[in-house]
Structure 1
Amino acid sequence: MIYLTGSQLSFEEIERVMIKKEQVELSTKAREDIVKSRKLIDELVDNEETVYGVTTGFGKFSDTAISTKDINALQENLILSHAAGVGEPFSEEIVRGIMLLRANSLSKGHSGVRLETVKLLLDMLNEEIHPVIPSQGSLGASGDLAPLAHMVLVMLGRGEAYYRGERLLGSEALKKAGLQPIKLRAKEGLALINGTQAIASVGTFTWLSMKNLLKVADIACAMTVDALEGITDAFDERIYKLRPHPGHRKTAANLRKLVVNSEIIENKEHPRVQDAYTLRCVPQIHGASKDAHSHVGEVLEREINSTTDNPLIFSEDGDIISGGNFHGQPLALPMDYLSTSISEIANVSERRVERLVNPNHNFGLPAFLIEEGGVSSGFMIAQYTAASLVSENKSLAHPASVDSIPSSANQEDHVSMGTIGARKALSILKNSQKVLSVELLCACQALDLRKPRKPGKGTKKAFEIIREEIPYLDQDREISPDIEKVAEIIASGKLVKAVEEVVGKLE
């Protein structure tokens, strides 16, 4: 069981809820804080005070007064009008993340919702009621309005949801789980949708997946270094000490672990004194992406434990203040940074693939890693696929945050486009998994061709894991299923886990 406080949610806990579907509950303090902030809202309504989003309209309608009798209708209409998302729905994992992060934000007690409202959101999460949330339509400012509105529809008994894998009307999903829809009261609709949780959920899922991807990239690179009889001097720790970026140290240490005891490297048959950049500079290249990953993690960790709606309730002072915590810019820039840093991992991987398949650069291996070249094309087109994915990534990596289109009759005249940035980062990550799949396939083929010399301790284990599923390519066959299968192995974490059991934890 995970207890929400609004301030202490960790990546490890988010992963447990997203993937393993662990149960979630409010802490005692969170319950108390939610009740306090709601009390202030009720007092303001009773006193008929003018408060944005409570007794006024939204956005450009902020100057429009709302009568007491229409206050609750205002909140429901907000959800109905803002549920304007389009496109493919977010995955189950991301929807679970959105629900969890929104509940955690509300748990801080600065949003003015009722306790039963937050409890219903968590009950839905625990009962595996996953609202159908379209992935497109958020500007990433004023929060992720459209995605979160689709989440709230189900709380009202509207919209659609998956209940334990079955797509149903929202009302039917609640009924099957034994839950009752709610009627929104003052400020609750606004509090539920005025936040950055779609950006944060997609960003966190991508960040967690990238953590694994970075280790896979080091494993793939080490296999290529081994297969190409690489020079490991470039991974010497003394080099790092003269330019001490943390990611450099981590990557170099990983590579040294992975190729230790390699008979191929120890008995190399070439006179060269240094390798091309895609082998020699990997600590610097992979390391920079690792440092970017660390920075983005720090930003995400702050965001997932923040209150991001408007206006904010300060119950101890009796104040309610309009501000801009819903604006996605603090996440939009890091999401673009994440996109670029993942793209570079794929870029350098594809260049290593080129060296493996090119007889002018692979130091005695057959062209395209096939023994009967001409009759068979080997891995020729697999390199094309990697190149295509890398080129697509370059287009996707164009920063979303440099764009802004004013909305709500120019009241909301700068928006972050952070949700687009997060979605692009996830697309780039999925493409990059397939690029690394191609490198792993080519590296395994090359290591087979280097026999009887044996690869290093870690690279040998990685080779064995791939070969459990994918046989040696002795003649042409369909390569696509092999690439997809290795991508599954990468995403599952199986490859990293197996290698770490042999060489110790990778950084």
Structure 2
Amino acid sequence: MRAPGRRGRTGPALVPGGVLGAEAEGCTDNPVFVDGEVLHGGNFHAAPVALASEQHLLCLHQLAFLAERQLALVLDPAHNGGQPPMLTPTPGPASGFAGVQLAATSHLGAIRQHGYPASLTPVPTNLGNQDHVPMALNSANAVAGALRRAWWITASLFLAVTQLTHLTGSAAGEGLWQRLADGWTPLGSDRPLADEVDATARLIERHFTSVQEEHG
């Protein structure tokens, strides 16, 4: 079946970004008129959007999982070069990054829980007129929510590494790492860190987005 507006083209590369771009730019109502011809696309239910979104979510989960596991290693004296547990200068009286790690682990769990494929949940509706509704928007919304959680997990890791360099007296590095070291107050006594994690997430998101745009 030919999709309206794509005649004479071989179509985008079969990768999630290409599929989503083609669907966003395409005309997929049913039917449509093209050059005086009536075309029945039958693609208004946007199943490709769900399938492509789910591929994004699978990749996103892997990255979030790796970041959460790296965070666990940074906070563990058995793996961080013998630094204090949870990277607090006063283990016992203070909890350091314990709350941050618990939140990161919870975010990872939420990504998994909300990542159930919408393409496995099509149902008929509208008196059977719509006999295959793939819930594509649900899948796209799940990716959006998971992406925000993944940035929080990544920010938690970046702040923990910044705290580790403070405790060890190591050089912060250059670029983004230096910006983190300059703009963040090292953790001495316990304080709420949720806002700082969120601000750091936005900082690194802007950084990597600009790098991606610069290098295509």
Q: TM-score, normalised by structure 1?
A: 0.38
1:422 equivalent in alignment to 2:140? yes
- Structure 1 gaps of 5+ residues are 1-105, 109-293
Secondary structure at 2:18 match in 1:
helix
In percent, how many aligned pairs have the same letter? 25
1:300 equivalent in alignment to 2:12? no
Q: How does 1:81-480 map to 2 (within 5 A)?
A: 295-315=15-35, 318-451=36-169, 453-454=170-171, 459-480=173-194
Post-superposition CA distance 1:325-352 (Å, at most 9, x none):
3131111111111112112211110110
CA distance in 2, matches of 1:325, 1:399: 19
Runs of 4+ more than 6 Å apart: none
Secondary structure at 1:414 match in 2:
strand
Shift of 1:470: 1.7
Secondary structure at 2:17 match in 1:
helix
CA distance in 2, matches of 1:450, 1:361: 14
Secondary structure at 1:406 match in 2:
strand
| Residues 332 and 431 of structure 1, relative CA distance in 2, 3 Å threshold | same
Paired residues in the alignment total 205
1:485 equivalent in alignment to 2:199? yes
The one-letter code sitting in structure 1 at the alignment partner of 2:15 is H
Shift of 1:423: 0.4
Post-superposition CA distance 1:385-407 (Å, at most 9, x none):
10000001100111011111101
Secondary structure at 1:344 match in 2:
helix
Shift of 1:481: 1.9
CA distance in 2, matches of 1:348, 1:488: 19
- Contact 1:368–1:377 (Cα < 8 Å) also in 2: yes
Higher relative contact order (CA 8 A, sep 6+): 2
Shift of 1:494: 3.9
- Structure 2 gaps of 5+ residues are 6-13
CA distance in 2, matches of 1:366, 1:461: 27
CA distance in 1, matches of 2:17, 2:34: 28
Larger radius of gyration: 1
Shift of 1:322: 2.9
CA distance in 2, matches of 1:495, 1:333: 25
Aligned to 2:10: none
RMSD: 2.5
- Contact 2:30–2:40 (Cα < 8 Å) also in 1: yes
| Residues 319 and 485 of structure 1, relative CA distance in 2, 3 Å threshold | closer
CA distance in 2, matches of 1:480, 1:306: 41
Secondary structure at 1:413 match in 2:
strand
CA distance in 1, matches of 2:143, 2:77: 34
- Contact 1:465–1:495 (Cα < 8 Å) also in 2: no
The one-letter code sitting in structure 2 at the alignment partner of 1:464 is Q
CA distance in 1, matches of 2:160, 2:127: 55
Q: TM-score, normalised by structure 2?
A: 0.85
Shift of 1:420: 0.5
CA distance in 2, matches of 1:470, 1:409: 57
CA distance in 2, matches of 1:376, 1:314: 68
